[in-house]
Amino acid sequence: MGQNIFDNEVPHWILKAREKWEYFGQARPPFAEIPKAGQRSVWDFPRPPAIEKSLKKLKIKHGAELVAASHNALAILETASPSTYYVPPEDINYKLLVKIPKRESLCEWKGNAVYWALKNDPMAPIAWSYPKPFQEYIILKDYFAFYPQHLECYLDGERIVPQTGEFYAGWITSDLSGPFKGKPGTGHW
């Protein structure tokens, strides 16, 4: 029997899957935008993804309700994707959230994710967390990442633009240059 993918050790077949990527942040492809002054290119972000502490004021709202607010988020930086922000558990308004039963997925880098919804729409995912991440990403344990497509998300007062597509949850801000993974035909990036 194979290794249980819900343990926090990375199975061999996932290590093999990681080898399929074409871009690893070591060289920008010819179609990458040239960053303007004050911008970072997502094509300089590494793969496997890096974790960066963010001191920016992060705010996530649903209508008039504050879902999360933090000065201590972690940003995941992965080649071709805008940063995804992970909010510490103490900065989440749990009164608004409910865990979606029996809904899980596997990230080849971070491990098994569980999903969260707003209590008033309990089957529509708006966030995920890693209760048992792979050891490489143990710092993300119990932090929440939110889909900006379904919420109002702000960094230092700037309303972010959601990454294209329902699968990805990157936060496009004015300090990033792309193009960004998510549009049709970019899955191999």
Residue 8's Cβ-count burial label (10 Å; 0-12, 13-18, 19+) is: middle
- The answer to whether residue 140 sits within a structural domain is yes
Tell me the per-residue pLDDT of 117-149, one tens digit each, with 9 for 90 and over: 999 999 999 999 999 999 999 999 999 999 999
Residue range(s) defining the domain that contains residue 97: 53-177
- The answer to whether residue 144 sits within a structural domain is yes
> Strands, DSSP E only, in 33-136?
40-41, 50-53, 58-62, 65-70, 74-77, 84-87, 97-107, 111-118, 121-133
pLDDT exceeding 70 applies to what percent of the chain? Answer: 96
- The answer to whether residue 85 sits within a structural domain is yes
- The answer to whether residue 143 sits within a structural domain is yes
Number of Cα atoms under 13 Å in the Cβ half of residue 72: 8
- The answer to whether residue 138 sits within a structural domain is yes
- The answer to whether residue 75 sits within a structural domain is yes
Tell me the per-residue pLDDT of 17-60, one tens digit each, with 9 for 90 and over: 778 888 889 999 999 999 999 999 999 999 999 999 999 999 99
* The pLDDT of residue 8: 64
- The answer to whether residue 5 sits within a structural domain is no
Tokens 């990458």 found at: 32
The CATH number covering residue 112 comes to 2.170.150.40
How does 109-136 read in b/e, with b if 16+ C-beta sit within 10 Å? bbbbbbbbbbeeeeeebbbbbbeebbee
* The pLDDT of residue 3: 43
- The answer to whether residue 1 sits within a structural domain is no
Question: In the predicted model, is pLDDT for residue 161 greater than 70?
Answer: yes
Q: State how many domains the chain has.
A: 1
Tell me the per-residue pLDDT of 74-98, one tens digit each, with 9 for 90 and over: 999 999 999 999 999 999 999 999 9
